[in-house]
Structure 1
Amino acid sequence: MNIDNAIKVVLAILFFLCLADMPYGLYQFVRFAAMIGFTYLAYSANQQANKNEVFIYIALAILFQPIFKIALGRTIWNIVDVIVGIGLILSVFQNKDKN
Protein backbone atom coordinates (compact mmCIF):
# COMPACT_ATOMS: atom_id res chain seq x y z
CA MET A 1 0.00 0.00 0.00
CA ASN A 2 1.48 3.35 -0.99
CA ILE A 3 1.40 6.43 1.26
CA ASP A 4 -1.51 8.04 -0.64
CA ASN A 5 -3.72 4.99 -0.12
CA ALA A 6 -2.70 4.73 3.54
CA ILE A 7 -3.70 8.37 4.11
CA LYS A 8 -7.03 7.77 2.38
CA VAL A 9 -7.80 4.71 4.52
CA VAL A 10 -6.85 6.48 7.77
CA LEU A 11 -8.94 9.52 6.87
CA ALA A 12 -11.91 7.33 5.93
CA ILE A 13 -11.70 5.53 9.29
CA LEU A 14 -11.55 8.87 11.10
CA PHE A 15 -14.59 10.14 9.19
CA PHE A 16 -16.57 7.02 10.05
CA LEU A 17 -15.55 7.43 13.72
CA CYS A 18 -17.12 10.89 13.61
CA LEU A 19 -20.52 9.24 13.16
CA ALA A 20 -20.37 8.04 16.77
CA ASP A 21 -20.92 10.29 19.75
CA MET A 22 -17.31 11.17 20.53
CA PRO A 23 -15.62 13.92 22.58
CA TYR A 24 -15.36 17.24 20.74
CA GLY A 25 -11.57 16.98 20.76
CA LEU A 26 -11.75 14.06 18.31
CA TYR A 27 -13.70 16.16 15.83
CA GLN A 28 -11.09 18.91 16.10
CA PHE A 29 -8.33 16.35 15.56
CA VAL A 30 -10.15 14.92 12.52
CA ARG A 31 -10.47 18.38 10.98
CA PHE A 32 -6.76 19.05 11.47
CA ALA A 33 -5.76 15.59 10.20
CA ALA A 34 -8.09 15.95 7.20
CA MET A 35 -6.62 19.33 6.30
CA ILE A 36 -3.07 17.95 6.45
CA GLY A 37 -4.02 14.71 4.67
CA PHE A 38 -5.95 16.38 1.87
CA THR A 39 -3.20 18.96 1.39
CA TYR A 40 -0.66 16.15 0.98
CA LEU A 41 -3.00 14.28 -1.39
CA ALA A 42 -3.42 17.47 -3.47
CA TYR A 43 0.36 17.84 -3.66
CA SER A 44 0.74 14.18 -4.64
CA ALA A 45 -1.98 14.45 -7.29
CA ASN A 46 -0.27 17.56 -8.65
CA GLN A 47 3.00 15.64 -8.93
CA GLN A 48 1.11 13.04 -10.99
CA ALA A 49 -0.45 15.82 -13.14
CA ASN A 50 -3.98 14.82 -12.09
CA LYS A 51 -5.63 18.25 -12.02
CA ASN A 52 -9.13 16.97 -11.20
CA GLU A 53 -7.91 15.27 -8.04
CA VAL A 54 -5.88 18.36 -7.09
CA PHE A 55 -9.03 20.48 -7.23
CA ILE A 56 -11.08 17.94 -5.22
CA TYR A 57 -8.43 17.55 -2.50
CA ILE A 58 -7.94 21.32 -2.17
CA ALA A 59 -11.71 21.79 -1.85
CA LEU A 60 -11.84 19.07 0.82
CA ALA A 61 -8.88 20.59 2.69
CA ILE A 62 -10.73 23.92 2.75
CA LEU A 63 -13.98 22.27 3.84
CA PHE A 64 -12.37 20.41 6.75
CA GLN A 65 -9.80 23.04 7.83
CA PRO A 66 -10.15 23.87 11.54
CA ILE A 67 -9.30 27.57 11.45
CA PHE A 68 -12.42 29.12 9.88
CA LYS A 69 -14.95 26.43 10.71
CA ILE A 70 -17.83 25.85 8.34
CA ALA A 71 -20.95 25.28 10.44
CA LEU A 72 -23.13 22.72 8.67
CA GLY A 73 -24.83 21.09 11.64
CA ARG A 74 -24.26 17.56 12.91
CA THR A 75 -26.59 15.82 10.44
CA ILE A 76 -25.07 17.42 7.36
CA TRP A 77 -21.53 16.84 8.66
CA ASN A 78 -22.42 13.16 9.16
CA ILE A 79 -23.60 12.97 5.55
CA VAL A 80 -20.42 14.71 4.35
CA ASP A 81 -18.28 12.34 6.45
CA VAL A 82 -19.98 9.27 4.95
CA ILE A 83 -19.76 10.54 1.37
CA VAL A 84 -16.11 11.56 1.69
CA GLY A 85 -15.21 8.35 3.55
CA ILE A 86 -16.83 6.16 0.90
CA GLY A 87 -15.22 8.24 -1.85
CA LEU A 88 -11.78 7.78 -0.29
CA ILE A 89 -12.24 4.00 0.04
CA LEU A 90 -13.48 3.76 -3.56
CA SER A 91 -10.49 5.78 -4.77
CA VAL A 92 -8.14 3.30 -3.05
CA PHE A 93 -9.70 0.44 -5.01
CA GLN A 94 -9.80 2.49 -8.21
CA ASN A 95 -6.08 3.25 -7.87
CA LYS A 96 -5.40 -0.44 -7.24
CA ASP A 97 -7.03 -1.29 -10.56
CA LYS A 98 -4.85 1.26 -12.38
CA ASN A 99 -1.62 -0.21 -10.99
Structure 2
Amino acid sequence: MKIIVLIKISLAILFFLCLLDMPYGYFQLVRFLALAGFGFLAYEANQEDKSEQVFIYIALALLFQPFYKIALGREIWNMVDVVVGVALIVSIFLKKISN
Protein backbone atom coordinates (compact mmCIF):
# COMPACT_ATOMS: atom_id res chain seq x y z
CA MET A 1 0.00 0.00 0.00
CA LYS A 2 2.83 2.41 0.76
CA ILE A 3 4.26 2.01 -2.75
CA ILE A 4 0.96 3.17 -4.26
CA VAL A 5 0.98 6.31 -2.10
CA LEU A 6 4.64 6.94 -2.97
CA ILE A 7 3.93 6.62 -6.69
CA LYS A 8 0.93 8.95 -6.49
CA ILE A 9 2.86 11.60 -4.54
CA SER A 10 5.88 11.30 -6.83
CA LEU A 11 3.78 11.66 -9.98
CA ALA A 12 1.90 14.62 -8.50
CA ILE A 13 5.19 16.39 -7.70
CA LEU A 14 6.50 15.68 -11.20
CA PHE A 15 3.33 17.11 -12.74
CA PHE A 16 3.47 20.23 -10.56
CA LEU A 17 7.11 20.76 -11.56
CA CYS A 18 5.96 20.76 -15.19
CA LEU A 19 4.48 24.20 -14.48
CA LEU A 20 8.00 25.59 -14.17
CA ASP A 21 10.24 26.46 -17.11
CA MET A 22 11.95 23.08 -17.49
CA PRO A 23 14.08 21.72 -20.35
CA TYR A 24 12.33 19.51 -22.91
CA GLY A 25 14.12 16.43 -21.60
CA TYR A 26 12.32 16.81 -18.28
CA PHE A 27 8.95 16.54 -19.99
CA GLN A 28 10.13 13.42 -21.82
CA LEU A 29 11.21 11.91 -18.50
CA VAL A 30 7.85 12.76 -16.93
CA ARG A 31 6.06 11.03 -19.81
CA PHE A 32 8.06 7.81 -19.32
CA LEU A 33 7.63 7.88 -15.55
CA ALA A 34 3.90 8.64 -15.87
CA LEU A 35 3.46 5.72 -18.26
CA ALA A 36 5.24 3.38 -15.86
CA GLY A 37 3.51 4.80 -12.76
CA PHE A 38 0.01 4.72 -14.19
CA GLY A 39 0.66 1.27 -15.62
CA PHE A 40 1.60 0.02 -12.17
CA LEU A 41 -1.40 1.74 -10.57
CA ALA A 42 -3.67 0.13 -13.18
CA TYR A 43 -2.16 -3.27 -12.42
CA GLU A 44 -2.67 -2.81 -8.67
CA ALA A 45 -6.25 -1.59 -9.17
CA ASN A 46 -6.91 -4.65 -11.33
CA GLN A 47 -5.59 -6.88 -8.54
CA GLU A 48 -8.13 -5.26 -6.20
CA ASP A 49 -10.96 -5.65 -8.79
CA LYS A 50 -11.48 -1.90 -9.13
CA SER A 51 -12.35 -1.73 -12.82
CA GLU A 52 -13.20 2.00 -12.78
CA GLN A 53 -9.74 2.84 -11.49
CA VAL A 54 -8.12 0.48 -14.00
CA PHE A 55 -9.84 2.34 -16.83
CA ILE A 56 -8.81 5.74 -15.45
CA TYR A 57 -5.16 4.74 -14.96
CA ILE A 58 -4.93 3.19 -18.41
CA ALA A 59 -6.45 6.33 -19.95
CA LEU A 60 -3.91 8.47 -18.09
CA ALA A 61 -1.06 6.18 -19.14
CA LEU A 62 -2.16 6.58 -22.76
CA LEU A 63 -2.50 10.35 -22.39
CA PHE A 64 1.01 10.77 -21.00
CA GLN A 65 2.77 8.02 -23.01
CA PRO A 66 5.90 9.28 -24.81
CA PHE A 67 5.67 7.34 -28.07
CA TYR A 68 2.84 9.14 -29.84
CA LYS A 69 2.70 12.66 -28.47
CA ILE A 70 -0.65 14.36 -28.07
CA ALA A 71 -0.22 18.03 -28.95
CA LEU A 72 -2.44 20.03 -26.62
CA GLY A 73 -0.38 23.19 -26.23
CA ARG A 74 1.48 24.40 -23.17
CA GLU A 75 -1.51 26.01 -21.43
CA ILE A 76 -3.76 22.96 -21.75
CA TRP A 77 -0.96 20.60 -20.67
CA ASN A 78 -0.43 22.81 -17.60
CA MET A 79 -4.12 22.48 -16.72
CA VAL A 80 -3.99 18.71 -17.27
CA ASP A 81 -0.89 18.47 -15.05
CA VAL A 82 -2.57 20.40 -12.24
CA VAL A 83 -5.86 18.49 -12.44
CA VAL A 84 -4.14 15.09 -12.51
CA GLY A 85 -1.70 16.08 -9.75
CA VAL A 86 -4.48 17.30 -7.48
CA ALA A 87 -6.59 14.22 -8.26
CA LEU A 88 -3.70 11.94 -7.31
CA ILE A 89 -3.25 13.73 -3.97
CA VAL A 90 -7.00 13.73 -3.28
CA SER A 91 -7.22 10.01 -4.09
CA ILE A 92 -4.72 9.29 -1.31
CA PHE A 93 -6.89 11.01 1.27
CA LEU A 94 -10.14 9.52 -0.05
CA LYS A 95 -8.60 6.05 0.28
CA LYS A 96 -7.64 6.78 3.91
CA ILE A 97 -11.10 8.12 4.73
CA SER A 98 -12.86 5.09 3.22
CA ASN A 99 -10.74 2.65 5.27
Q: Which bracket does the TM-score occupy, shorter chain normalised?
A: over 0.9
Aligned partner letter, 2:80: V
Pairwise mapping of residues 55-70 of structure 1 onto structure 2 (< 5 A)?
A: 55-70=55-70
* Alignment size in residue pairs: 99
Q: Deviation of residue 98 (structure 1)?
A: 2.4
Report the aligned-residue RMSD: 0.8
Partner of 1:53: 53
The runs of at least 4 aligned residues of structure 1 exceeding 3 Å deviation read none
Q: Does 1:16 align with 2:16?
A: yes
Q: Aligned residues: percent identity?
A: 64
1:51-99 CA-to-partner distances (Å, cap 9, x unmatched) read 0000000000000000001010000000000000000000011111123
TM-score (norm 2): 0.97
Partner Cα distance (1:51, 1:4) in 2: 17
Alpha-carbon distance between aligned partners in 1 of 2:92 and 2:29, rounded to the nearest angstrom: 23
Partner Cα separation in structure 2 for residue 79 and residue 47 of structure 1: 30
One-letter amino acid of the counterpart of residue 44, structure 2: S
Question: How far, CA to CA, are the matches of 2:98 and 2:33 in structure 1?
Answer: 27
Describe how 1:20-99 pairs up with structure 2 within 5 A.
Answer: 20-99=20-99
